[in-house]
A = this chain, B = another copy of it.
Amino acid sequence: LYSDKVLEHFAAPHNVGELPDADGVGEVGNAKCGDIMKMYIKVDDGKISDVKFKTFGCGAAIATSSIATDMIKGASIEDALKLTNSAVVEALDGLPASKVHCSVLAEQAVKAALADYYRKQ
């Protein structure tokens, strides 16, 4: 049902937590299941120097956020804004069709956190 990469990131997700001194915070909700995702980013010299997330969402939401935060950590803001849901799902070697709605949270939370960062400038 789930790829080895999904199970790995679910069992030991990367970048879980909060950043008290975040430069941007994004909070997004999943209308389908009522789950919530919160993402914190730290920006230095136009690059994402740190990122953490917290969610009450399911294993697919946890795994996609784990790999999405890996993908944007150290990236420029421009590259982070280009992150798509399908790139995240591909990096996980796929997700069951019934769980693709969960993966949307990660992409949305990254964009919400960056929007919050720009709003604060």
Contact = CB atoms under 8 A, between A and B. Distances in A.
A56 B10 contact: yes
Copies, count: 2
Contacts of A34: 96, 98-99, 101
A35 interface: yes
B58 A56 contact: yes
Contacts of A56: 2, 10, 58-60, 99
Interface residues of A, number: 20
Nearest to A31: B98
A32 interface: yes
Q: In the A-B complex, list the 9 residue pairs whose CB atoms are closest, starting with the nearest.
A: A34-B98, A56-B59, A33-B33, A58-B58, A57-B58, A35-B58, A34-B99, A56-B58, A32-B33
Interface of A: 1-2, 10, 32-36, 55-61, 96, 98-99, 101-102
Given A32-B33, A34-B98, A35-B59, 12 more contacts: A1-B36, A2-B56, A33-B98, A33-B102, A34-B99, A34-B101, A35-B58, A55-B59, A56-B59, A56-B60, A56-B99, A57-B59
